[in-house]
Chain A
Amino acid sequence: AQSVTQLGSHVSVSEGALVLLRCNYSSSVPPYLFWYVQYPNQGLQLLLKYTTGATLVKGINGFEAEFKKSETSFHLTKPSAHMSDAAEYFCAVSLSNTGNQFYFGTGTSLTVIP
């Protein structure tokens, strides 16, 4: 069975502090991995994605994520949080053996404390 787990439904960080949002997946085939951000009453905005190649992926707004196959993880990080980073973050996996259906994590709500 395929699944995506986001540890921590709520994460709070101080402005300027490191942001770390965790994502683990289970898959029997090589996954495509995605991080999305969602602001209130808006759709999903792609932050970054891993398909093949370099395992450290850089995205928009200073975010990056590293694919670690041995740990089945794809954690999202940002060195210094900004107030505008406060939002909901979703990790997703796309699998070729399911017609590239997306499986979403339950989401992590990020709060940035001034």
Chain B
Amino acid sequence: GAVVSQHPSRVICKSGTSVKIECRSLDFQATTMFWYRQFPKKSLMLMATSNEGSKATYEQGVEKDKFLINHASLTLSTLTVTSAHPEDSSFYICSARVAYEQYFGPGTRLTVT
């Protein structure tokens, strides 16, 4: 149980375009999901907390207009990177919270050319 999926696993997009990443809890409901960004050889950096039915809470320094988060249902949160630039290239990981634990998705590798 407690499986989290992400789609796509890899995506390449051109600079200036937008890309959407989906995070789904497959066998449970999650009122809270988290979005992380991971740079090469680095730890996970929390970007935002996504709450079902309400606005996401962004960490300091994360542009909310650039990284749009929508938590439309208890099993789906989406991260849209708008007007992507090469510096947005990174590994994005989502997680779903159940009580004091988080279950992590497999990650999405975004490359902006």
Interface residues of A, Cβ cutoff 8 Å to B: 32, 34, 36, 41-44, 49, 51, 90, 94, 96, 99-102, 104-107, 109
Which residues of B are interface residues toward A (Cβ below 8 A)?
Answer: 6, 32, 34, 41-44, 46, 49, 91, 93, 95, 97, 99-102, 104-107, 109
Cα(A42)–Cα(B41), bound, Å: 13
Give the complex CA separation of A20 and B109 in angstroms: 30
Q: Which residues of A contact B32 (CB under 8 A)?
A: 99
**Which A residue sits closest to B9, measured CB to CB?**
A41
A94 close to B93 (CB less than 8 A): no
> Which residue from A34, A41, A43, A107 sits with its C-beta under 8 Å from B42?
A107
* A41-B91, A90-B44 given; A102·B106 CB < 8 A: no
Contact residues in B for A106 (Cβ distance below 8 Å):
42-43
Given A106-B42, A109-B41, A96:B93 Cβ within 8 A: no
The residue in chain A whose Cβ has the minimal distance to the Cβ of B59 is A101
Which 4 A-B residue pairs are closest in the complex by CB-CB distance? A43-B106, A44-B104, A43-B107, A100-B100
Give the complex CA separation of A101 and B95 in angstroms: 11
A64 to B104, CA, bound (A): 21
> Are the C-beta atoms of B43 and A49 separated by less than 8 Å?
no
Could you jot down 10 A-B contacts, CB within 8 Å? A41-B91, A43-B104, A44-B44, A49-B101, A51-B100, A90-B44, A96-B100, A101-B49, A102-B34, A104-B43
